[in-house]
Amino acid sequence: MARARKKGISRRDFVKAFTRSMHEFIYALTFISVSAKKTVSIGVPTELVRGDVFQWGPLMAGALLASIPVAVVYTFFLDRFIAGFTMGAVK
């Protein structure tokens, strides 16, 4: 008998997504050496950190630019997120 699948994100799905994103980061970090071809997530840490010297202004600006799309998507789907989180709490 097949079990019904729960709606929402499970721990397994979260770990799987995190692992895949880290593999993509490591892959790009390893094989892309030209600065013009790097994405924001690779270019910010590799171009703005030199040994012990952190260029904090540009580093924080890059982090802000990379996080804006995530914040916008989260804002649009906030009601669905809350509905999914509370679905298991109410019977």
Question: What backbone phi and psi angles, to 5 degrees, belong to 5?
Answer: -85, 135
Lowest-confidence segment of 8-17, 29-38, 52-61 by average pLDDT: 8-17
Which residues sit opposite 49 in a β-bridge?
54
When divided into structural domains, the chain yields a total of: 1
Q: Average pLDDT for residues 44-71, to the nearest whole number? A: 86
Residue 63 to residues 9, 32, 49, 68, 85, Cα–Cα distance (Å): 26, 20, 13, 9, 28
pLDDT (tens digit per residue) in 60-89: 888 888 889 889 988 888 888 778 778 776
Instruction: Tell me, yes or no, whether 1 lies in a domain.
Output: no
- Whether residue 2 lies inside any domain: the answer is no
Domain for residue 66, yes or no? yes
Would you say residue 42 lies in a domain?
yes
In a domain, 33, yes or no: yes
Mean pLDDT over each residue of the chain, to the nearest integer:
81
What range does the domain containing 23 cover? 11-87
pTM value?
0.51
Token couple for 76: 């649009």
> Is residue 5 domain-resident?
no
